Chain A
Amino acid sequence: MKIFFAWLLITIICLSNSSLAYAESPNKISSSSPFSVQDLSLIRKIGEPINLEELGAESWKNTPENSPSEYELIKLADRLRDVGRYLGTTWPVIVPIPVSEIQNKKASSWRITDFRDTEGEWLSLSSGHALRFVIQELEALKSSSQQPLVDFLVTDEGSKVYRQLLGISLDRYCRELLNLFDFSAKPLNK
Chain B
Amino acid sequence: MSKLFYFIQKAFLITIVFLFIAIGSTEFAYAQDQPENNNTSDLSYRLKRLVKNAAPNHSGLEYFALPESSDLNNIPADPQNPLTPAKVKLGQLLFHETALTINPLNPKHWQQGSCSSCHFAAAGFRSNLAQGLGVGGLGANKSRHRDADVPPTELDKLDILVPTVLNTAYQDVVPWNGRAGVTGPNTKEPIIQEFDINRFKMKGLETQAIEGLNVHRMGTAAIVSIPAYQELFAKAFPDRSYVSAEVEDIKRAGLAIAAYNRTLLTNQAPFQKWVKGDENSMSAKELRGGIAFFSSSCITCHTGPNLAKTEFHAMGFADHPRDLSGLNLGRGTVTKKASDDFKFKTPQLYNLADSTPYGHGASFNNLREVVQYFNRGEVQNLAVKYSGNTSKLFRPLNLTQNQIEDLTAFLETGLRDPELARYAPSRLPSGLCFPNNDSLSREQLNCSENHS
A37 touches B324 (CB 8 A): yes
Choice from B131, B153, B329, B376 contacting A84 with Cβ under 8 Å: B329
> Do residues B153 and A39 form an inter-chain contact, with CB atoms below 8 A?
yes
A38 contacts across to B, CB distance below 8 A: 152
- C-beta contact mask, B114-152 vs A, less than 8 Å → 1, else 0? 000000000000000011000000000000000000001
Chain A neighbourhood of B156, CB < 8 A: none
Query: B322-346, CB under 8 A of A: which get 1 and which 0?
Result: 1111111100110011100100000
A123: B residues at CB distance < 8 A: 324, 326
The smallest C-beta distance from B231 to any residue of chain A, in angstroms, reads: 43
Q: Is B378 an interface residue (CB 8 A)?
A: yes
Q: CB distance B328 to A139 under 8 Å?
A: no
- Chain A 94-136 interface mask (CB, 8 Å, partner B; 1/0): 0000000000000000000000000000010011110110010
Tell me if B5 counts as interface (CB < 8 A to partner A). Answer: no
Contact of A74 among B152, B378, B386 (CB under 8 A): B386
Chain B positions 236-295 with a Cβ under 8 Å from a chain A Cβ: none
Q: Which interface residue of A78, A127, A129, A135 has the most chain B CB atoms within 10 A? A: A135
| Interface status of A55 (Cβ within 8 A of chain B) | no
Set B131, B324, B338: member contacting A82, Cβ < 8 A: B338
* CB within 8 Å for A135 and B386 given contacts A35-B321, A37-B321, A127-B327: yes
For residue A50, CB closer than 8 A to chain B, the reply is no
Residues on the A chain within 8 Å of B338, using CB: 78, 81-82, 85, 189-190
Q: Give the docked Cα–Cα distance between A59 and B341 (Å).
A: 36
CB distance from B29 to the nearest CB of A (A): 12
B336 is contacted by which of A20, A40, A86, A129 (Cβ under 8 Å)? A86
The reply to whether B382 and A129 contact each other, CB–CB distance below 8 Å, is no
Q: How far is the CA of A40 from the CA of B328 in the complex (A)?
A: 16
Size of the chain B interface, CB-CB below 8 angstroms: 25
User: Is B383 interfacial (CB-CB < 8 Å)?
Assistant: yes
Q: Tell me which of A14, A74, A81 contacts B341 (CB under 8 A).
A: A81
Q: CA of A124 to CA of B152 in the docked complex: distance in angstroms? A: 17
Scan residues 41-98 of chain A and give those whose CB is less than 8 A from a CB of chain B: 74, 77-78, 81-82, 84-86, 88-90
Residues of A within 8 A of B321 (CB): 33-35, 37
In the complex, whether B387 has a CB less than 8 A from a CB of chain A is yes
Expressed in whole angstroms, the Cα–Cα distance for A189 and B387 within the complex equals 13
B337→A132 contact, CB < 8 A: no
Query: How distant is A169 from chain B, measured CB to nearest CB, in Å?
Result: 19
Interface centre among A14, A33, A81, A132 (most CB of B within 10 A): A81
Residue A174 CB within 8 A of the other chain: no
Bound form: Cα–Cα A39–B324 in Å? 8
How many Å lie between the Cα of A40 and that of B325 in the bound state?
A: 9
A150 at the interface (CB under 8 A from B): no
Q: Closest Cβ of chain B: how far from A164's Cβ, in Å?
A: 20
Contact B130 A35 (CB under 8 A): yes
Q: Do A89 and B327 touch (CB < 8 A)?
A: yes
- Show 21 residue pairs from A and B whose CB-CB distance is below 8 angstroms, ordered by the A residue: A10-B376, A18-B378, A18-B382, A20-B382, A35-B130, A39-B322, A39-B324, A74-B386, A77-B386, A81-B341, A84-B325, A85-B329, A89-B326, A89-B327, A123-B326, A126-B327, A127-B327, A129-B325, A139-B382, A189-B336, A189-B337
Other A-B pairs beyond A37-B322, A84-B329, 12, CB < 8 Å: A34-B321, A35-B131, A37-B321, A37-B324, A39-B324, A78-B338, A81-B338, A84-B327, A89-B326, A127-B327, A128-B323, A132-B383
Closest 7 CB pairs of A and B: A128-B327, A128-B326, A89-B325, A129-B326, A35-B321, A128-B325, A89-B327
